[in-house]
Amino acid sequence: MVQKSFTLKNKMGFHMRPAQVFVGAMAKYPADIKIEFNGKEIDGKSIMNIMASCMKCGSEITVKCSGENEEAMLAEAAAMIESGFGEE
């Protein structure tokens, strides 16, 4: 298992569009992805759970990947989160 922590930077947080893009990218990997936020563990492949968790700008989250190709999966997740999903 590999993991990394982030602070969400884009203004709107994990709303519909970022969640859509994120889930789409993560679905390509067979490994599992969990997002730890506020003491809860969220399935990183479920757009509904991501949106319902209400992660906002400034939220501290930890992303955990485990399984085949987990390093690459975490790297791609990190790139998306760190770039603020290409939003302000």
Partner 1 sequence: MLQGIGASPGYGIGKAIIIEDANLDYSSVKYSGAQEEKDRLYKAVEQFNEETREMAEGLKKSAGEKEAEILEGHITMLADPFMLSQMEENIDSGAVAEAAVDTVCTMFYDMFAAIEDEMMRQRASDVKDIKDTLIKILLGVKSIDISAVAKDSILIANDFTPSMTSQINGDNVAAIITEVGGVTSHSAILARAMGIPASLSAPNCMNVIQNGDMLIVDGFKGKVYINPSDDEINEFRQKQKVYLEEKEGLKVYFNKKTVTKSGLVKKVYGNIGKPDDAQNVIQNGGEGIGLFRTEFLFMDRDHEPTEEEQFEAYSTVAKTMDGKEVIIRTLDIGGDKAIDYLKIGREDNPFLGFRAIRYCLKNKELYKKQIRSILRAACFGDIKIMLPLVTCLEEVRQAKELIAECEQELENEGIKYRKAPLGVMIETPSAAIISDLLAKEVEFFSIGTNDLTGYTMAVDRGNANVSHLYDVFQPSVLRAIEMTIKNAKAAGIMVGMCGEAAANELLIPKLVEWGLDEFSVTPSSILKTRKTICECE
Tell me how far apart the alpha carbons of residues 84 and 41 are, in angstroms, rounded to a whole number: 21
3-state secondary structure of 30: coil
Of 49 and 66, nearer to partner 1 (C-beta) is 49
Give min distance, CB of 81 to partner 1, in A: 19
Tell me how far apart the alpha carbons of residues 42 and 86 are, in angstroms, rounded to a whole number: 22
Residue 79 CB partners (closer than 8 Å, separation 6+): none
Q: Per the residue annotation, which of 15, 21, 49, 84 is the catalytic one? A: 15
Query: 76 is written with which tokens?
Result: 């791609």
Q: Which stretch binds partner 1 (CB under 8 A): 16-24, 28-36, 57-65, 66-74?
A: 16-24
Binding-site residue total for partner 1 (CB under 8 A)?
15
Q: Does 40 bind partner 1 (CB under 8 A)?
A: no
Catalytic residues: 15
